[in-house]
Amino acid sequence: MENPFERPPINVSAALTGGQIPNWKKDYLATVPAGPHENQRLLNSLRTGEDPTIRDGVNLALSRLFDSEAPKDLHGRTAFLVHDGTGTGKSFQAILAAKAIALETGEPALVTTRADLIPALKRDLDRLGLDDAGIVFVATEQLGAFVKDAKKERRTFSVAIIDEAQDCRFPEVRNFLDRVPARRQLFFSAAPFHNISEFCYFVSKLNGKQTHQVKSEINSATDLRVEIADQLRRITAAGGMVHREFPLFGNVHPAELLPVSAETHTAETQLIEGYGRLIDRCDLRQHRKLKEDLDIELNTASDARKVNSVLQQTLDLLSQNKKVIVTGDDLPVASRILKEQDGLPKETAGFLSGLRQALSDQGVECSFIQTFPQNSDAIPSLSKERTAIAARNFEEMARFVDGAYRKNETGQRFEVRDWRNQPVYAPSQTKVILLPYQQAAGWPELNQRFAQAPGISMILTPTASADQFIQAVGRGSRRNSQGLTEYHLVANGSHADRHRLSQLLKGLQFIAATGSPAVTPFLKLAAECLDIALAQRAAHDQRLIRVQKVQQTRSARKFDANRCPIPPSSSGVRP
Amino acid sequence: MKSFDELLKGPEFVKSDNLAGPILCSAPLLGIDIWQEALDRYDPLPEAEGQSSLPLEQQQYLSDLRVDLYLNDTLAREFELLAVWIRENPKHPATAQVESFLKRREQFGERSLIEQQERLFLWAQENEPDEIAASILGWRLLCQDTAELLLDWALRQPQDPRGQHIRLWQESPGFYPQNRLRIWAIRFLEDARAPQILAWETAMYHEIFETHPELVIVTR
C-alpha cells in the first residue's frame, strides 16, 4: 500500500459539495513577510508548493472572516471552521492566519490552545522564520482571567483563534471565547463534533442561527445522517468551513466473529433475568445505576471470553515480528447475580488485566496503561491520584516506543537525533501494549515511526463509543508512520457485543456523515460484524424454538388428557 | 420478565410540564425581578486567579458548583425579600400565595448541602456495589437525565418563567445536577416534574442517615 501521507490530503469539502467550494479571491498568505533566509524555503513552499492545503485553508478562512455579508453569531462575529485531520498542518494554518489577519487589520490576533500545546505552536512560528509580532498566545486554561484583564484594559483583537477547538465542548471555554473582544472567531480541530450538541454549537456559529434552532432542525429531520451532511454541505458551499483529511494508512481485516458457547448464552440470560428481578424491586435511583451495572457486567463477561483468542492472536503476531497494540476495556466485576460455588459473588477480572496475566503466564512482558479513576479529570481532589497513575502510564508507554531517548536533569524525556537531525532508531523494550479505551487519546508515538522497526498490529474489542474507537485507531495511522498498521476487530455474538456494535455503528455513521474518509473501512467492518452477530443470534433463536417445539410435543404426548381424565371433585369447578 | 432492551431503556419518571396551581411571580410585589437581575449579572469569569492554572475539566467542575451556589443564593434572597414584604403587606391579595411559597423554606436546607455532594459522590464511587452507594450514584444519573430533559424543554419554551430560571444551565451542565434541580423544584413546586425531584432527595438522605450518618454533615 502506498503511503497516503506522501500526497496532499483528500479534500472532503470538495467531495461533499461536488467541487462547489467558493474560491478565495485574495492571497492573504502572500502578505505575510518571509523571515531570515534559511527559513524562507518552508514558507515559500507553503505559498507556491505542490500541496495547496495550507495556502487554501488560510485564504478561505480569511475570505470568510472579512466578508461583510457573511452570517454572524449572536455577538455579531463572523466565524470559520478548519476541520482538518491529524497531520494536515492545522498549526501552521493557525499561526499564518493569525499573522495575516493582524497584518490586514493592524490589530493583534489572539491564539489560544491548551497550555501544553503552546510551545509547539511557538516552535512552528520559528520554523517558518516568523516572529510573534501581532500574535498574543494565551493558554485556554487562562483565557477567563486573561479576558477579564483585557476588558479592564480595553484591549481589542482582530480575531480569536482556537486550536484544538474540540475543547469548545466545555461550556466554560465557549463562554470565555465569546467574551474575547474580537470581531472574528477561527476554529481549528481534527474532530470538532462528537455528538449532536457539539455539532449544533459549531453550525450555529457558522450559519448564524441560534443553537436551539439548529437542534430543532436536526431533531425534526427524518434521516439524521442526511440532515447532518446537508447542513455541512450548505455551510461549506457558503464558504464557512473547509475539511481535508488523510485516508487510513492501514489494512482492516475482514469481520470475523468468535463462536459463543451455549454456556455464555446461559450466563447472559441469567444476568439479564437477575437484573430484571433486581430492577423490579428497586426505586428509580437504583434502577438508573443498575442499568449501567448490567451493561458493565455483560461487557466484562463477554470480553473475558475473548482473552484466550486474543492471547493466541498476539502470540502469532509476535512470532511474525510484529508489535501489538491491544485496545479494550478494563472493568473488573463482582457480579450482583452470578455466584461462585462458595456463595460469594463471581468475580471477573477486567479484559486487559486478564490478558496481561495470560501473557505473563506465557512469559510475554507487556506495557500496561492503567485506567484512571472515574471523573478524576474533573474533581480536583482526585488529581493527585491521577497524576501518579499518569506518571506510571508514561513510563509504560516509553517502554513500548521505538527510538532512543535520554532524560535531562529535570527528568524530561528527549528524543536522540543523528547528525541529519533524524530520530535515532533503537528497538523498544516491550512489543505489546495494553491500552484501555478510556485512555486511547494522546500517545503520539505508538505508531511505526522507523522504516526498520517491526510493523504494528492493532487488536480492538468492541466499544459503544465511536469517538474512543476512532481515537484508538488513530494510534496506528499517523502522519509520520513508516508502514501501514494492521487492524483486527475481535468480537463475538454475545448480547453485549451486539449492543456495543450497534452503538458503535451509530456513532461511526454520525462521524461518517461529517465526511471523514478514514472512518469508512471501520464503518463497513462494524456493519459486517453486527450483521454476522445478528444472523448468529437469529439462527440460535430458531434452534431454540425448534428445541422447545420438540420438547412441547414430547410433553404433550406424555400427558394425554384423554387417558387420565380429571375426576369431577378435583376439576377445580365448585358446585 | 423485562427484555434486555427494556432494561436498558432506563426508568420512567414524570416528564409532564403540567401545573398544579399558579406560579408565584415576585417581581410585581418586590418591584424588582430578582431572577432576571441575577441571571443578567452573573459573572462567568473565574474570580480566583489560582483557578486559571487548573485543567479545563476541573475549571468546568468548579464553574458548575459556582452556578449551583449562585442559584441557591438567588432563591435565598427571594425568600428573604418576600419575608420582609409579607410583614409590610399583611393584607395584600397575594399574601396567601406568598405565605404558601415561604413555607418552602423548610425544604431549602443549608448552602453547604451543595458542597456536601462531592463527599457523598466520592464515598459512593469508593464503596460500590454497596446498596447506598448505588443509590447515590443512581440518584446523580437520574438527575442528569432529568436536567437534560428540562433544559431541552426550556429551550423550546423561552417565554416560560420555569425555563428562564434555568438559563445558566446552558453555560454549565452541572456535575451534581441534583443541586440545581432541587432549587428549581422548590421554586416551581407547582410543576408536575418538581415533587419527584424532592422525593428522590428526601429518600436519599433518609437512607444515608439510617445507614451512614457520618457521611452527612448538613441536612435539609
Helix (H, G, I), strand (E, B) or coil at B42: coil
What whole-number distance in Å separates Cα of residue A140 and Cα of residue B74? 30
Average predicted confidence (pLDDT) for chain B: 90
Residue A570's pLDDT is what? Answer: 39
Instruction: Reply yes or no on whether the pLDDT at A567 is more than 50.
Output: no
> Does A362 touch chain B if contact means CB atoms closer than 8 Å?
no
User: Testing the interface with A: which of B7, B122, B176 to mutate, by most A Cβ within 10 A?
Assistant: B7
Radius of gyration, alpha carbons of chain A: 28
What whole-number distance in Å separates Cα of residue A290 and Cα of residue A457? 36
pLDDT digits (tens, 9 = 90+) for A101-158: 999 999 999 999 999 999 999 999 998 999 999 999 999 999 999 999 999 999 999 9
Q: Dump the DSSP string for A335-401.
A: EEEEE-TTSSEEEE--HHHHHHHHHHHTT---EEPPPPPTTTTT-GGGHHHHHHHHHHHHHHHHHHS
Residue A83 near residue A202 (C-beta atoms within 8 A): no
Q: Which residues contact A463 (CB under 8 A, 6 or more apart)?
A: A328, A329, A437, A469, A500, A504
- Reported as type and span, the H/E element at residue A487 is strand A485-489
Average pLDDT score over residue span B188-209: 95
Cell of A453: 522497526
**Distance from the B104 Cα atom to the nearest Cα atom in chain A, whole angstroms:** 24
Residues, chain B, total?
Answer: 220
Q: Which residues contact A403 (CB under 8 A, 6 or more apart)?
A: A415, A416, A423, A424, A425, A426, A445, A449, A450
Inter-chain Cβ pairs, chain A and chain B, closer than 8 A: 141
CB-CB under 8 Å, A499 with B8: yes
CB-CB under 8 Å, B173 with A171: yes
Contact residues, chain A, for B117 at CB < 8 Å: none
Give the nearest partner residue to B135 out of A174, A286, A336, using CB atoms: A286
Average pLDDT score over residue span A71-87: 94
Q: How far is CA B204 from CA A145, B29, B82, B117, in A?
A: 38, 36, 30, 12
User: Testing the interface with A: which of B58, B200, B204 to mutate, by most A Cβ within 10 A?
Assistant: B58
Residue A572's pLDDT is what? Answer: 38
> Does A144 touch chain B if contact means CB atoms closer than 8 Å?
yes
Give the nearest partner residue to A276 out of B1, B49, B118, using CB atoms: B1
What whole-number distance in Å separates Cα of residue A47 and Cα of residue A49? 6
- Better-predicted residue by pLDDT, A551 or A525: A525
Q: How far is CA A211 from CA A184, A368, B116, in A?
A: 18, 42, 34
Residue B102's pLDDT is what? Answer: 97
Instruction: Reply yes or no on whether the pLDDT at B152 is more than 80.
Output: yes
CB-CB under 8 Å, B55 with A141: yes
The pair phi, psi for residue B207, each rounded to 5°, is: -65, -45
What whole-number distance in Å separates Cα of residue A320 and Cα of residue A114? 40
Domain map (residue ranges) of chain A: 4-245, 250-535
Amino acid at A372: F
Instruction: Reply yes or no on whether the pLDDT at A243 is more than 90.
Output: yes
CB-CB under 8 Å, A382 with B203: no
pLDDT digits (tens, 9 = 90+) for A348-395: 999 999 999 999 999 999 999 999 999 999 999 999 999 999 999 999
Q: Which CATH superfamily is domain A4-245 in?
A: Tandem AAA-ATPase domain (3.40.50.10810)
Q: How confident is the model at residue A568 (pLDDT cuts 50, 70, 90)?
A: very low
pLDDT digits (tens, 9 = 90+) for A521-550: 999 999 999 999 999 888 877 877 887 788
Q: How confident is the model at residue B203 (pLDDT cuts 50, 70, 90)?
A: very high
What whole-number distance in Å separates Cα of residue A65 and Cα of residue A335? 57
Closest CA relative to residue A246, chosen from A424, A455, A481, A445: A481
> Does A543 touch chain B if contact means CB atoms closer than 8 Å?
no
Cell of A515: 465526511
**What is the value of ipTM here, to two decimals?**
0.91
- Reported as type and span, the H/E element at residue A458 is strand A455-460
Instruction: Reply yes or no on whether the pLDDT at A569 is more than 50.
Output: no
Give the nearest partner residue to B2 out of A114, A176, A279, using CB atoms: A279
Residue B7's pLDDT is what? Answer: 67
Backbone CA torsion sign across A306, A307, A313, A314: positive
Residue A498 near residue A537 (C-beta atoms within 8 A): yes
- In A, minimum Cα distance to B48 occurs at A145
- In B, minimum Cα distance to A373 occurs at B125
Bridging pattern class, strands A345-348 and A491-492: unpaired
Average predicted confidence (pLDDT) for chain A: 91
Residue A21's pLDDT is what? Answer: 86
pLDDT digits (tens, 9 = 90+) for B69-113: 999 999 999 999 999 999 999 999 999 999 999 999 988 888 888
- Which H, E and C letters describe A23-53, residue by residue? CCCCCHHHHCCCCCHHHHHHHHHHHHCCCCH
> Does B50 touch chain A if contact means CB atoms closer than 8 Å?
no
- Would you tell me which residues 305-344 of chain A have a C-beta closer than 8 angstroms to some C-beta of chain B? 334, 336
- Would you tell me which residues 108-137 of chain A have a C-beta closer than 8 angstroms to some C-beta of chain B? 114
User: Testing the interface with A: which of B42, B54, B56 to mutate, by most A Cβ within 10 A?
Assistant: B56
Residue A19's pLDDT is what? Answer: 87
> Quick check: bond before B129 cis, omega within 30?
yes
Residue A244, strand partner residues? A11
- In B, minimum Cα distance to A172 occurs at B60
Q: How far is CA B150 from CA A62, A200, B20, B177, in A?
A: 39, 18, 18, 11
Helix (H, G, I), strand (E, B) or coil at B194: helix
User: Testing the interface with A: which of B15, B47, B57 to mutate, by most A Cβ within 10 A?
Assistant: B57
Name the one residue in this structure whose C-alpha cell is 479576558: A147
User: Testing the interface with A: which of B39, B52, B168 to mutate, by most A Cβ within 10 A?
Assistant: B52
Give the nearest partner residue to A285 out of B49, B142, B171, using CB atoms: B142
What whole-number distance in Å separates Cα of residue A119 and Cα of residue A98? 16
Identify the DSSP state of A117: G
Contact residues, chain B, for A172 at CB < 8 Å: 44, 56, 59-60, 63, 171-172
Contact residues, chain B, for A114 at CB < 8 Å: 56
Is it true that A4-245 and A250-535 share their CATH fold? yes
Q: How are strands ordered across the β-sheet holding A159-163?
A: A135-139, A109-113, A159-163, A184-188, A78-82, A241-242
- Better-predicted residue by pLDDT, A503 or B157: A503
> Does A398 touch chain B if contact means CB atoms closer than 8 Å?
no
Residue A212 near residue B154 (C-beta atoms within 8 A): no
> Does B61 touch chain A if contact means CB atoms closer than 8 Å?
yes
- Would you tell me which residues 365-394 of chain A have a C-beta closer than 8 angstroms to some C-beta of chain B? 373-375, 377-383
pLDDT digits (tens, 9 = 90+) for A157-195: 999 999 999 999 999 999 999 999 999 999 999 999 888
pLDDT digits (tens, 9 = 90+) for A391-444: 999 999 999 999 999 888 887 888 898 988 888 999 999 999 999 999 998 888
- In A, minimum Cα distance to B173 occurs at A171
Residue A488's pLDDT is what? Answer: 97
Residue A539's pLDDT is what? Answer: 85
- Would you tell me which residues 89-148 of chain B have a C-beta closer than 8 angstroms to some C-beta of chain A? 118, 121-122, 125, 129, 131, 134-135, 137-139, 141-142, 145
Q: Which CATH architecture has domain A250-535?
A: 3-Layer(aba) Sandwich (3.40)
Give the nearest partner residue to A288 out of B57, B122, B138, using CB atoms: B138
**Distance from the A356 Cα atom to the nearest Cα atom in chain B, whole angstroms:** 24
CB-CB under 8 Å, B8 with A293: no
**Distance from the A376 Cα atom to the nearest Cα atom in chain B, whole angstroms:** 9
User: Testing the interface with B: which of A151, A288, A291, A387 to mutate, by most B Cβ within 10 A?
Assistant: A288
> Does B195 touch chain A if contact means CB atoms closer than 8 Å?
no
The pair phi, psi for residue A82, each rounded to 5°, is: -100, 100
pLDDT digits (tens, 9 = 90+) for B6-34: 766 666 889 999 999 999 999 999 999 99
What whole-number distance in Å separates Cα of residue A57 and Cα of residue A96? 10
Amino acid at A196: I
Q: Which residues contact A399 (CB under 8 A, 6 or more apart)?
A: A367, A428, A429, A430
Residue A13's pLDDT is what? Answer: 95
Bridging pattern class, strands A322-328 and A432-436: parallel
Q: How confident is the model at residue A456 (pLDDT cuts 50, 70, 90)?
A: very high
Give the nearest partner residue to B55 out of A215, A279, A377, using CB atoms: A377
User: Which of A42-51, A501-510, B20-29 has the least mean pLDDT?
Assistant: A42-51
Residue A144 near residue A46 (C-beta atoms within 8 A): no
Give the nearest partner residue to A144 out of B4, B52, B121, using CB atoms: B52
3-state DSSP helix/strand/coil % of chain B, to nearest 5: 70, 0, 30
Residue A122 near residue A137 (C-beta atoms within 8 A): yes
CB-CB under 8 Å, A141 with B52: yes
Cell of A108: 493583534
